[in-house]
């Protein structure tokens, strides 16, 4: 039974086309060897979730996560994803994210949503599965 259970998770995770639920991601961390990029993406997801919470509480995000520049080197599940357009989307994402950390308090929501939309822009070209989850990071 246990085995079948894990196989199900592996199947759910092996493709960018499918959306992984939160539960799957937590279990995945323990049992599946994920790519460096997938691990970085989850970190990025959590940081943006944290930022959303802070902004909704009227606080600014704390510190710009310098290690997100790993997006230029992290190993991908599918290495052919890394092309000129991928690097351009990476530049754009980090550019919009930096702006969140320098934004005046009354514009935080706009800058945060810009950063999240830049996640979505890249995902539309490379990995559509997580888009519904990423959209939850937007502040309405």
Q: Is 114 in the site for ligand HEC (CB under 6 A)?
A: no
Query: Given candidates 35, 60, 114, 117, which one binds ligand HEC under the rule CB under 6 A?
Result: 35
Q: Is 45 in the site for ligand HEC (CB under 6 A)?
A: yes
Q: Is 55 in the site for ligand HEC (CB under 6 A)?
A: no
Is the separation of the CB atoms in 40 and 82 below 8 Å? no
* Stretch of 2-10, 59-67, 98-106, 126-134 lying at the interface with ligand HEC (CB under 6 A): 126-134
Q: Is 101 in the site for ligand HEC (CB under 6 A)?
A: no
Is the separation of the CB atoms in 43 and 70 below 8 Å? no
Q: CA-CA distance, 97 to 111, in Å (whole number)?
A: 8
Query: Given candidates 19, 54, 90, 98, which one binds ligand HEC under the rule CB under 6 A?
Result: 90
Is the separation of the CB atoms in 100 and 111 below 8 Å? yes
Q: Is 89 in the site for ligand HEC (CB under 6 A)?
A: yes
Please say whether the dihedral angle defined by the alpha carbons of residues 137, 88, 86 and 42, taken in this order, is positive or negative. negative
Residue with tokens 């493709």: 15
* Stretch of 2-10, 42-50, 52-60, 102-110 lying at the interface with ligand HEC (CB under 6 A): 42-50
């Amino acid at each position: 039974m246990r085995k079948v259970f894990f196989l199900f998770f592996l199947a759910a995770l092996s493709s960018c086309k499918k959306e992984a639920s939160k539960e799957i991601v937590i279990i995945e961390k323990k049992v599946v060897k994920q790519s460096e990029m997938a691990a970085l993406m989850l970190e990025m997801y959590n940081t943006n979730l944290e930022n959303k919470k802070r902004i909704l509480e009227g606080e600014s995000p704390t510190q710009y996560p310098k290690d997100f520049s790993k997006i230029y080197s992290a190993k991908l599940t599918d290495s052919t994803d890394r092309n000129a357009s991928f690097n351009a989307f990476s530049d754009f994402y980090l550019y919009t994210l930096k702006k969140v950390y320098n934004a005046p308090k009354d514009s935080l929501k706009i800058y945060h949503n810009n950063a999240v939309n830049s996640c979505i822009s890249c995902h539309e070209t490379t990995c559509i599965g997580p888009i519904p989850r990423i959209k939850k990071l937007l502040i309405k």
